[in-house]
Amino acid sequence: MNAPLLAIRGLRASYGKIEALKGVDLDIAAGEIVTLIGANGAGKSTLMMTIFGKPRARAGRIVYDGRDITSVPTHHIARMRIAQSPEGRRIFPRMSVAENLQMGADATDGTPAERAASLDKVVTLFPRLKERMTQRGGTLSGGEQQMLAIGRALMSRPRLLMLDEPSLGLAPLIAKQIFDAIRVLNRQDGLTVLIVEQNANHALRLAHRGYVMVNGLITLSGTGAELLKRPEIRAAYLEGGRQTDAPAAG
């Protein structure tokens, strides 16, 4: 691999006495789709949030585009063209679709022309949003809210897009639309994507490579195709779906 766009080494993070990340190593090359799978409570969302500086890393390093960002404040990280769609979507329910998208654009300083181009891309990818520009975010369906959350992240013109469980709670057809959109962004724009998924089957088919997290540690990694064939992956994450409790929304 060339120098990765994101390189994580020995990353540790805690909530009080609970150590959620216990020394994580993970690489994402530019132009790659990488998926992170694992059971409830494994630390997947924490990894994504630690890249954003909340919680702060207790030890280890996060290097993005050759720069150590381990101690960079959260509000600066968005300016470095890293965007995330967090677990539970977290759109602004009282704001319109257009205003939600505007918030995404405000995360970086794009020119009016760049903003217009981003908006064009978002509505081409998700035509449903175009018909609903004046509608309040909170009144969108679950699938539409997910589209809005991804659209808002895209408005900041990311180089690295991180998505936390984008298919959670969606009907299979809508989930497929979301996965297809991610594939298009990757193929057409070379967008680099980190996707946390409970839908391991879909995610491993979509991703170039995957990592499996158990109790705050990476236990397995490989290409999507390799991981799909592993018996322990099939048993834990594919056959019969997730074996753990239903994930809490939000």
Ligand X SMILES: Nc1ncnc2c1ncn2[C@@H]1O[C@H](COP(=O)(O)OP(=O)(O)OP(=O)(O)O)[C@@H](O)[C@H]1O
We find the least distance from the C-beta atom of residue 83 to ligand X, in angstroms, to be 18
- Site string (4-43) toward ligand X, x via CB under 6 A: -----------x--x-x-----------------x-xxxx
46 binds, among Mg ion, ligand X, none (CB under 5 to 8 A by kind): ligand X
Q: Among 7, 11, 26, 44, which residue interacts with ligand X (rule: CB under 6 A)?
A: 44
Cβ(33)–Cβ(182) below 8 Å = yes
199 binds ligand X (CB under 6 A): no
Judged by CB under 5 A, does residue 45 bind Mg ion? yes
Q: Which is nearer to Mg ion, 32 or 87 (CB)?
A: 87
Total of chain residues touching Mg ion, rule CB under 5 A? 2
Q: Is 127 exposed, middle or buried (0-12, 13-18, 19+ CB in 10 A)?
A: exposed
Rounded least distance, CB 114 to ligand X, Å: 32
Q: Max alpha carbon distance in the chain (Å)?
A: 51
The DSSP bridge pattern shows strands 59-64 and 6-15 to be antiparallel
Number of residues that bind ligand X (CB under 6 A): 13
Establish if 146 lies at the interface with Mg ion (CB under 5 A): no
Shortest separation between residue 133's beta carbon and ligand X, angstroms: 31
The CA R_g of the chain, rounded to the nearest whole Å, is 17
Please tell me whether residue 35 binds Mg ion under the rule CB under 5 A. Answer: no
User: Which residues between 64 and 103 bind Mg ion (CB under 5 A)?
Assistant: 87
Instruction: List the 18-28 sheet strands across, edge first.
Output: 18-28, 6-15, 59-64, 67-68
Choose the one of ligand X, Mg ion, none that binds residue 113, judging by a C-beta under 5 to 8 angstroms depending on kind.
none
Rounded alpha-carbon distances, angstroms, from residue 84 to 77, 127, 215: 11, 21, 23
Q: Closer CB to ligand X, residue 26 or residue 97? A: 26
Minimum distance of ligand X from residue 98's CB (angstroms): 30
Closer by beta carbon to ligand X, 17 or else 173: 17
Among 35, 46, 84, 177, binds ligand X (CB under 6 A): 46
Kindly tell me which of 132 and 210 has the beta carbon lying closer to ligand X.
210
Contact residues for ligand X (CB under 6 A)?
Answer: 15, 18, 20, 38, 40-46, 87, 247
